[in-house]
Structure formats: C-alpha cells, structure tokens
Chains A and B, each alone.
Chain A
Amino acid sequence: MANSPSPASLEKPVKQRRRWQRLPPALRVGGLLVGIIVLMALLSLVWLPADPDAQDMLSRLQAPSTSHVLGTDQYGRDLLARILVGARASLLVGTVAVSIGLGSGLIFGLLAGYFGGRVDRTIMLLLEALYSLPALLLAMLLVTAWGPGLVSAMTAVGIAAIPAFSRVARASVLQVRVMPYVEAAQALGARQRRVLLQHVLPNILGPMIVQASLTMGAAVLIEASLSYLGLGIQPPAASWGRMLRESQSFMMLSPGPTIFPGLAVAAVVLGFNLLGDGLRDLLGQRN
C-alpha cells in the first residue's frame, strides 16, 4: 500500500489526456504532421544522413536500403538528406510568404474595416484586381521580371496571399468595431491608432492565425509547383518540386525519387490545412 500512487497523482494524467482529447481531431492530426515536418527541418540544420549534394554515380537510382533509407536519385544523391533539406526550403518560403501576406493583409483589412466608406471601397477594388491574378501567374510574372529563384517565389506567394488575409481581417474588424469595449475606448477619447492597435488588433488575431495556417499549406504547394516548373529554387539546392522534375525521366527505372518528395509536399499541405481547420473549429467552440 505504501508504494501505491496517491489519488491526486492518478488524477493528473487523466485530466491532461482528456484535455488533449477534447481538441478537434483535425487540430491533433494537423499539429502532429506539422510538428514532424518542423522537426525534420530543424534536424537538417544539425544532422543529415549524408551530404545532400554529394554525387555518387556508382550508386545511382538505388532502392531503399540500410545505407540510404529512402534510396538515391539519378546522381546517386541520398534522397532522405535531400528531402530533409527540402523541408527547410519549403518552410522558409511558406513563413516569408505568410509574413508578407499577414502583415500587409492586417494593414489593409484594419484600414478598410475600421474606416469604411471610400477607404474601404478603394482598398477592396485594388484587392479585387490582385485577386483576379492567380498566385502562380503572379509568380510567373515576377520570375519573368526578376529571374527564377527563392526571392521571386517568396515575394509572389506573399503578394498573392494579401487579398485573402485582408478580407479575413476586414470581416473580423467589422465585427469587433461595434463591440462595447471599442465604443467605450472611443467614448473615452482614445486616439484612433490606439483603438486600432490596442483594442481591435488583439481581437482579430484568431481568424488571422487560422488563415495563416491555411496560407502556409498553399504557399508550400505553390513553391513546389514553381520549383517543379523550374521557376523556383535553383539547382543544386534541394527542393521537393525540383526533385520531382528531375526524377520524372527516370521514374521507369526507379519510382522512389518521384514518390517520396511528392509525399513530403502532401504531408506538409495536409498538415497545415488540418491545423487551420482544427484551429477554426477550436475558435468556433470558444466563441
């Protein structure tokens, strides 16, 4: 009896498990997938199974084995190492693109939603024009102007994300600006900047985080598409889209280099989509 756990220590883990289980399933699965990918990207900074750019023509297109867990590509490069490095590139593009979209979208959405009238109409008209240019086409224009590469890809995806962020921010501001606490701040004579930054902004961040997660998935997908088309990250740097493009001619000999990078893209996109859906469900429950 002396060694048996006290009732209090039994209770704690059960409570924790229940709280975890109460989270929407999409949030749990999405969080897990995103967590794995982020860990993979971080791991690639300190450890890699092999040099991702080292060519070994004697071990070309090898099937998965103990020396190369996912096999090798047409230049004998280790696929796992390249996929780990590719995760870093994908997340970097996604993060920068989301930052551009989120930052600009917040400014436009706050201004349009809070001031309304002519400011709102002008901003919405400009965003409508931007919206009629699909992200990939916008990226293609920037690549034509600036040349292919990481900067063009990140900027294009970020600019293309601005309309969606702005619309979400605007819709949220329209809801928040009639709340009693905003009206109270205005009645107390608070300056517009203060009302916007201290009272409106913190209360619209929830929907913006949901949008950020969904945009992150879309950004990774567009970056992979651009790299597949040869317009994104340039060789010899590893990117999932580029790996798929290069392996296409050899897929009859070895399907591995065509299958694994595609699965990686799908896992990231699925992860962020589910995370966004789950966060939306969670916010919906709380509200």
Chain B
Amino acid sequence: MLNYVFQRLLGAAITLLLAAALVFGILLTIPGDPAQTLLGLDASPTALAQLRHQLGLDQPPPLRFVHWVTGALHGDLNQSIRYDAPVSRLLRERLSLSLPLIGLTLVISSLLALWLGSAAARAAQARSGRDTWITAGAVLLSALPSFWVGLMLMLAFAVRLHWLPSGGFPGWQEPGRAALALVLPVATLTLTRVAILARMVRSSLLDSLSQDYVRTARAKGVSERRVLYRHALRNALIPIVTVLGVQFAELLTATVIVEAVFSLPGFGTLILSGIEARDYPMVQGVVLVLSALVVLVNLIVDLSYGLLDPRISYG
C-alpha cells in the first residue's frame, strides 16, 4: 500500500511539473516583446528594461522556468502587474470565496445525484416511467451551458421575482447577505453538474442491483432501503467517485464562468481581469494552482479506491 501511495505521489509530482512546463511554454509563444505589448509603443527604453527585469525576461527561458517553479514551491507566484501585489496573496483572498462555492456545489450535487440516481435506478427496476423522465431530464440538463442557466435563474429569481440578489458579494463579514448572494451561483453550478453524476449513480446502481449478493440480501428479507444503500450503493461507489474526480476539473471551469455571470470576486474574475490586462504572471500563477488542484483531486480519487473497496489490492 505504501509503495503504491509513493508511486502515485511521484506520478502526480511529475504530471504537475509537466503541466507547469506546458503553462510556462504557452506563454513563451507570445508574439513580439511582452514588455512592449504591456507598455505600448511609446514606452521609454528605461521603463521597458525595468519591466523586462521585473518579468524576468532578461534571463534565458529555462532559468526563468526553474526560478518560477522553485518560487511556486515556496508559495511565491511572482508579482501581479495589474494589482502590484503578490499573485499568491491575491489568489488566497479570492479562494476564500471560490472554495466554499465549489465545496457547497460538490456536497449538494453529490447528495442530489445520489437521491435522483437511486430513484431512477429503482424506477428502472420497477419498469416505471419515472426513470425515463429522470434520465431525459439529466440528458437535457447536461447539455445546458452553465452561463445560460445562471442567466435564466437570474432572470427568474432576481429580475422578475426580486427574491435573490442578481450578483455581487458583500463579503463574509455579513454572513446572511453573503449566503443569499451564493444561492443562485451554487444552484447554477449544481444544476449543470448534477445531471452527469445522477446518470452515473443510476447506471452504477443498476449494475450492482443485478448482482448475486443483492439477490441473496433480498432473499434474507433485508429491507429494500437497506439493500439499496448498504449493499448496492457501497459497491457502486467506485465509478461514481471516478466521475466525481473527472467532474472536478469541469467544475473549476464552470466556476470561472459562473463567477463572471454573477460578478463574484473569486479566482474566476481574478484570472479574467489578468487576461484583460495581459497580466502574464497572474494568469500563469492562477492556472498553475488550478492545475495543481486537479492533480490533487485525481490523486485523492485514486487513493480512495482502496478505502471504498477493501478487495482492491495495491500489491
């Protein structure tokens, strides 16, 4: 087991290093001189030289890459050009909003998917029409663009009914208003994420429910609820957790979009303002941290298989 964990950790580290090289490499393809692009054609040679030095452009690319990666390992992601502040500090501030948004979405969409998916699986076993409705709804929902769902929810609940704010975030110092401001963004992310998860729960459960141990449990007189949650679901968890891991990367990108729709000051709007201002260190830093999160979640998913199913051996 320890050997497997070590191998996976090493694999994750190599993946992350390659991803960092990719992020760094893409920004090397900027046509022309980035300092000139940022300061304009009228910039003085002194200002250009100063900015080139600040961005590290006066050093060869391999050396810049090594400096950037070692800095990132120490929590230093360089200085933002637009905000004139450390990227790591800006990102930390923004993550205090984005991480609760992602966490809430993950919890709510997982619970909802378990409920809907198991209802669809039970309906499919009973050959009820409810399964078709739930499955068709899930297929339809998974095709909807998250920003459009956000706009439609905003149109209904903020613009027409005036029940919820249409955007903005007052800060955590006002917990009541902050929670209200997150209702529509979380609902948007949940609605677009829950469909794929619910479909996976359904198919995984249907597969488990057709196994011999379920028939044995039923023959022993175990209640249908216990059969579903204690016997079938436990054995259906691995594909569900795998999809949850894959979904995480998509959830990150959906968060960027939803934050833009609802004008939330999270990492999404930070990266967008970075792109607008051509703030290369900031875009580079934020993308690196988000890739690291994706790698980390995939690592956790891989390591969780043994806990979810003790039959899996890592020998």
Contacts and interface: CB of A to CB of B under 8 A. Distances in A.
Interface of A: 125-126, 128-130, 132-138, 140-146, 217, 221, 224-225, 228-229, 231, 241, 244, 248, 251-252, 255, 258-259, 262, 265-266, 269-270, 273-274
A134 B159 contact: no
A270 B253 contact: no
Interface string B8-34: 000100111011011100110111000
Nearest to B249: A134
A251 B160 CA distance: 10
B148 A141 contact: no
Contacts of B15: 125, 128-129, 132
A171 to B, nearest CB: 15
A269 B287 contact: no
B85 to A, nearest CB: 19
A145 B275 CA distance: 9
Contacts, number: 130
Contacts of A252: 159
Among A145, A262, A274, the one with the most B-chain Cβ atoms within 10 Å of its Cβ is A145
A37 to B, nearest CB: 13
Given A132-B295, A244-B148, A248-B151, A142 B159 contact: no
B278 A225 contact: no
A270 B136 CA distance: 11
Contacts of A142: 26
Nearest to B290: A137
B272 interface: yes
Nearest to A248: B151
B147 to A, nearest CB: 5
Nearest to B295: A132
Contacts of A231: 275
17 contacts: A125-B15, A129-B19, A130-B22, A132-B16, A132-B295, A136-B257, A137-B252, A137-B287, A137-B291, A138-B26, A140-B283, A217-B143, A225-B253, A225-B257, A228-B260, A259-B152, A270-B139
Contacts of A140: 256, 271, 275, 283, 287
Chain B residues touching A, majority SS: helix
Given A133-B287, A270-B140, 13 more contacts: A125-B14, A125-B18, A132-B294, A140-B271, A140-B275, A140-B283, A144-B278, A144-B280, A146-B30, A224-B147, A262-B144, A269-B143, A270-B143
Contacts of A125: 14-15, 18
A262 B145 contact: yes
A266 B142 CA distance: 9
A126 B21 CA distance: 11
A132 B147 contact: no
A59 B9 CA distance: 61
Contacts of B280: 144
Contacts of A145: 26-27, 29-30
A142 to B, nearest CB: 6
B274 interface: yes
Contacts of A126: 18
B250 interface: yes
Contacts of B47: none
Name, among B250, B257, B295, the residue most crowded by chain A CB atoms within 10 Å (CB to CB): B257
B155 interface: yes
A266 B144 contact: yes
Interface in B33-80: none
Contacts of B257: 136, 225, 228-229
Contacts of A266: 140, 143-145, 148
A132 B291 contact: yes
B55 to A, nearest CB: 13
Contacts of A224: 145, 147
Contacts of A144: 27, 274-275, 278, 280, 283
A146 B29 contact: yes
Contacts of B27: 141, 144-145
B145 A274 contact: no
B26 to A, nearest CB: 5
A262 B143 contact: no
Contacts of A146: 29-31
B298 interface: yes
Q: Which of A137, A217, A231, A273 has the most CB of B within 10 A?
A: A137
Contacts of B22: 129-130, 133
Given A134-B249, A248-B151, A273 B145 contact: no
A251 B159 contact: yes
Given A144-B274, A145-B26, A228 B253 contact: no
A258 B261 CA distance: 13
A219 to B, nearest CB: 13
A133 B260 CA distance: 20
Contacts of A221: 145
Among B30, B250, B291, the most chain A Cβ lie within 10 Å of the Cβ of: B291
Nearest to B159: A252
A252 B166 CA distance: 11
A137 B278 CA distance: 15
Nearest to B29: A145
A141 B260 CA distance: 17
Contact of B145 (A130, A133, A259, A269): A269
Contacts of B291: 132-133, 137
Q: Which 10 A-B pairs have the closest CB atoms?
A: A129-B18, A262-B148, A270-B143, A136-B253, A269-B143, A134-B249, A129-B19, A141-B26, A134-B253, A144-B283
B162 to A, nearest CB: 11
